[in-house]
Chain A
Amino acid sequence: MRCEQVREGLRAEGSGKATAAHLEGCARCRRWWQTEQASERDLATALRSVPAPPSLLGRVLAAVEHPPVQPMADLGDRLLIEATEAGLTAIELVPEGALPTPVTGPGRRWAERATAELREYLAGERTFFDLPWDLRTLPPFSRRVLEVTARIPFGDVRTYAEVARAIGAPRASRAVGNALGANPVPLVIPCHRVIRGDGGTGGYGLGSALKPRLLTLEASVSPFVGCPSTTAVCRLGCDYPRSIPEGERIHFARLADARAAGFRPCSICRPHAARPLPYGLRA
């Protein structure tokens, strides 16, 4: 009985003075305890013997360095859009919880189209905007900066200095930054694609925290989608490939890849043009 009690106690992972004294005196229990301990070690070894796969570390580090893109669809509900008959005049962010007032008047059709397209863009389902803008009230320098910026492709970036050179004012990086900071139609004119020469993202009119998120979003979306039966390749967001079932669409990261695979650019969204002309405008 005494032996039984001692073994019970030892099995339950405890050994006090009394059990130690008993082991001292009882050879049978000592032997029993030795085998018991050996099997305990075996169990520990057996359970421990699974090395982590090499992919684990890479997976964890990748997730730390490139956090998953947070959906920004909620932003779509907070965009305040203003437009004239000629095009968009303002895109602003209303505070969280507030609802933007819907646009009435002649600019309404642009505002409604902008709302729909911006939502798709923020959900990673669109890479270009089919919208005109109305920047007549801006000074000529700002207009030039914005026209150049509008041609930066989706997923790409330029530096402030590059934009300054492109408008023929190579010493005006800072002025370019100011003009972009005052961009009345952010997102549609992608001023978030202009970053600092040292790799820093720089400021952003809709909030500096949003800028890297937008760039990450763009980096994570394949901008071209091909339809195998017609061999047309479109920009993501073109109306044409929407009728193709998702399983049959082919996504491309670069237009050159699509062309190499035998696809031809869609004549509606014109993925080969630097910036397609909005439907409503003629050259």
Chain B
Amino acid sequence: MEASDEALVARIQAGDVAAFEGFVRRHQDRIFSVAYRMLGNAADAEEAASTAFLKVYRNAASYDSRWKVTTWLGRLVANCCVDHHRRRLRQARRPDPPAGVSDGRAESPEENYAADERRRLLEESLLTLAAETRLVLSLRYAQGLSVADVARVRGMGEEAIKGHLKRGKAALRKRLLRVGLKGSER
């Protein structure tokens, strides 16, 4: 039986580094994905994700148990991404070429190429969205939060979140679902 997130956070509050390691292992893929989808390059995403995890460790004492741990974590990573995004607007770091993140699941060169192409399109399309829309989509799909949780994380109403999701999905669909994202990536 795996320890619950709440139990892990309680142990992290007591300074338990092993519990923290378990916590990072459990959430790192989702949190990195959120940051990567939001920021569009691996270096920035790694920086934002690690800052978010460090906040978990350092601010564990201020964790409010009325929040779900995943929602709290979503808020930490969202804020780190927003900070990063703002800083980057001043410095202008370019997004990675999409081949930078390969999941290694495609087998033949053709499949590889097709997968790369889909990834490139997805990442390109994401970057055309407004930053807030991109963040909301990332939290909803890459982290898997519910609409209500995304609303809490961003401090917005659920209606506003639904609006972002709707606009974001419509834009993505228009650009890439047509070119055969369906049935891919699994």
Contact = CB atoms under 8 A, between A and B. Distances in A.
Judge: A and B partners, yes or no: yes
A1 interface: no
Interface residues of A, number: 28
Interface in B8-44: 17, 20-21, 24-25, 28-33, 36-37, 42
Nearest to A54: B28
A209 to B, nearest CB: 16
Q: Would you list the 7 A-B pairs with minimal beta carbon distance, nearest first?
A: A52-B32, A52-B28, A47-B141, A50-B33, A44-B141, A60-B53, A47-B142
B147 A13 contact: yes
Nearest to A61: B21
Contacts of A52: 28-29, 31-33, 46, 49
A55 B24 CA distance: 12
Given A50-B101, A63-B54, A55 B36 contact: no
Contacts, number: 103
Nearest to A14: B162
Interface of A: 11-14, 38-40, 42-53, 55-57, 59-61, 63-65
A42 B177 contact: yes
Contacts of A59: 46, 50
B101 A13 contact: no
Contacts of B169: 11, 40, 43
B71 to A, nearest CB: 17
Nearest to B137: A47
Given A42-B182, A47-B142, 20 more contacts: A39-B182, A42-B185, A43-B177, A44-B141, A45-B185, A46-B118, A48-B33, A48-B142, A50-B32, A50-B33, A50-B103, A51-B29, A51-B32, A51-B103, A52-B32, A57-B21, A57-B24, A57-B25, A59-B50, A60-B50
Given A44-B141, A46-B184, A61 B24 contact: yes
B183 interface: yes
B78 interface: no
Contacts of B122: 46-47
Contacts of A55: 46
Given A57-B28, A61-B24, A64-B57, A49 B185 contact: yes
9 contacts: A13-B162, A39-B177, A46-B118, A49-B185, A51-B29, A56-B32, A57-B25, A61-B20, A64-B17
Contacts of A11: 166, 169
Interface residues of B, number: 44
A258 to B, nearest CB: 33
A64 B101 contact: no
B50 A63 contact: yes
Nearest to A11: B166
A139 B88 CA distance: 61
A42 B141 CA distance: 10
A65 B50 contact: no
A62 to B, nearest CB: 10
Interface of B: 17, 20-21, 24-25, 28-33, 36-37, 42, 45-46, 49-50, 53-54, 57, 101, 103, 118, 122, 137-138, 141-142, 144, 147, 162, 165-166, 169, 172-173, 177, 181-186
Contacts of A42: 177, 181-185
B125 to A, nearest CB: 10
Contact of B36 (A14, A44, A50, A64): A50
A47 B17 contact: no
B61 to A, nearest CB: 15
Contacts of B20: 61, 64
A61 B20 CA distance: 8
Contacts of B186: 45
Contact of B32 (A13, A40, A53, A64): A53
A75 B29 CA distance: 41
A1 to B, nearest CB: 19
Contacts of B184: 42, 46
A61 B141 CA distance: 27
B91 to A, nearest CB: 21
A50 to B, nearest CB: 4
Nearest to A55: B46
Given A52-B29, A56-B46, A13 B165 contact: yes
Nearest to B183: A42
